[in-house]
Amino acid sequence: MDDNLCNLLISKGQLKQDIFGVTLETMKLFKECAKGFEEFYRDHYADEHKNVSVLYKNKNQYQFQLQFAGDVLIFMMHSNIFEFSREHEVMKTPYIREDKTRSYCGMIQIFNFLRDSFEYNRINDLGYMIGRILINKEGHYFIEGKRELAKVLNNFSVNQINKETVSDILKSAIIYTINFDLLVPDYEKTKIITVDDMLEIEDQNRIQTGKRLGFRFEQDKDLP
């Protein structure tokens, strides 16, 4: 054993702890903005529109839910630290070449589920990752995601996480979800059903439902 090994252990370990701290603070900002949206809606619209609700639920320090109308957004912070792949566009920028440790990031993922999936315990229903935010030690972020989220200008060397940017990302995620509609299932795939399936549906209301059956995160070709 030697000092080089110990120094490597310390430097890499400290780097990941620093990134974890920045990502956790970002998660707190998302929670604050989501809670603020719930309060704003309740104060200005809830009384007049009782059938359309907004509800914030804090699950733990790594996860929260934002329910609105028939949808649920789940924000989930991963407890581990990741590095961009060598082929990723970010790795080719001067910002990373100047300091390779800037390519290490914490990650917050955004998932969309149907509200009824949780309310009726439909465990076979599908949810979709609509975006993820990658944050490095300096609080710089990069977004990968669907439509509205992908429209957020990605300039990793400049984009800095703060309450305003978090609010913009949250708003974009909500807009995308509202416009991400439930499609009628393919008739040819659903016209035949077994007695066992029907009995299970009657008992537990577990016919599989999702906004896009067969949806793939990396493409939007099947979306309107």
Alpha helices in 120-185 (DSSP H): 147-150, 163-179
If you average pLDDT over residues 56-85, what whole number do you get?
Answer: 96
Say how far apart CA 135 and CA 53 lie, in whole Å: 31
Task: Check whether 54 has a pLDDT greater than 50.
Answer: yes
Q: Domain segments of the chain: what residues?
A: 3-204
- Residue 48, helix vs strand vs coil: coil
Q: How many CA atoms lie within 13 A of 140 on its CB side?
A: 16
> What pLDDT, in 10s, does the model give residues 165-192?
999 999 999 999 998 876 666 767 666 7
Say how far apart CA 26 and CA 143 lie, in whole Å: 14
Question: Hey, what are 8's tokens?
Answer: 């490597």
> What pLDDT, in 10s, does the model give residues 92-146?
999 999 999 999 999 999 999 999 888 888 777 888 899 999 999 999 999 988 7
Q: Which residues pair with 73 in a beta bridge?
A: 66, 112
- Mean pLDDT is lowest, of 64-68, 109-113, 128-132, 147-151, for 147-151
> What pLDDT, in 10s, does the model give residues 7-44?
999 999 999 999 999 999 999 999 999 999 999 999 99
- Mean pLDDT is lowest, of 86-90, 141-145, 194-198, for 194-198
Four-residue CA torsion sign, 64, 66, 67, 70: negative
DSSP state of 58: E
Q: Report which of residues 41 and 3 the model is more confident about.
A: 41
- Mean pLDDT is lowest, of 50-64, 77-91, 117-131, for 117-131
Q: How many CA atoms lie within 13 A of 124 on its CB side?
A: 10
Cα torsion for 90, 91, 97, 102, to the nearest 10°? 70
Alpha helices in the chain (DSSP H): 3-44, 94-98, 115-119, 147-150, 163-179, 187-190, 195-204
Quote the distance between the C-alpha of residue 128 and its chain's center: 9
Q: What is the pLDDT of residue 24?
A: 98
Say how far apart CA 45 and CA 43 lie, in whole Å: 6
